């Protein structure tokens, strides 16, 4: 979906993949792979695309002219004591996870999430069986 959006903006601005290659320093074959959905670009690469296309980065994800309304996550109502990571030791552990995940490479982060997803599915199956 992101690749289609990048292509749409690029063609709307009458730019070629070669133009984007010169503006970003990315190879034209990589740009083609992104546009065709064969590669998912990193955040840094998306920033390069946004600068080259002369659009705010949110427009790569959002089609309307005006930016989406920002949610105020700090005003969210807590779910009571049952929400994990809300306070105390769990909140400190959650903050530590966030710091550690921010240091992981994208592929490693994907591997961790895939393992966690399998663990959750296995746990759900165990709960259904009991």
CATH no. for residue 54?
1.10.260.40
Q: Write the DSSP symbol of residue 13.
A: T
Rounded to whole angstroms, the Cα distance separating 10 from 85 reads 42
C-alpha–C-alpha distance, residues 99 and 3, integer Å:
29
DSSP string, 57-69: GGGGT--SSSPPP
Q: Is the whole-model pTM more than 0.85?
A: no
Cα separation of 80 and 73, whole Å?
Answer: 16
**Residue 71 carries which DSSP code?**
P
55 and 105 assigned to the same domain: no
- pLDDT value, residue 105: 82
Does 89 map to a domain? no
Q: Does a structural domain hold residue 92?
A: no
pLDDT over 70 percentage in the chain = 81
pLDDT attached to residue 127: 75
Instruction: Identify the CA nearest to 27 among candidates 9, 53, 7, 45.
Output: 45
Domain range enclosing 130: 101-130
Q: Is residue 78 part of a domain?
A: no
Q: Encode pLDDT of 6-55 as tens digits.
A: 999 999 999 999 999 999 999 999 999 999 999 888 889 999 999 999 98
């Amino acid at each position: 979906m992101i690749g289609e959006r990048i292509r749409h903006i690029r063609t709307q601005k009458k730019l070629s993949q070669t133009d984007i290659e010169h503006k970003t320093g990315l190879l034209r074959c990589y740009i083609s792979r992104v546009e065709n959905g064969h590669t998912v670009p990193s955040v840094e690469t998306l920033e390069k695309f946004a600068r080259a296309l002369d659009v705010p980065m949110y427009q790569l994800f959002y089609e309307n002219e005006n930016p989406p309304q920002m949610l105020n996550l700090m005003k969210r109502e807590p779910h009571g004591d049952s929400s994990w990571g809300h306070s105390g030791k769990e909140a400190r552990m959650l903050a530590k996870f966030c710091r550690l995940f921010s240091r992981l490479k994208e592929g490693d982060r994907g591997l961790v999430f895939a393992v966690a997803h399998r663990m959750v599915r296995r746990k759900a199956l165990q709960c259904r069986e009991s």
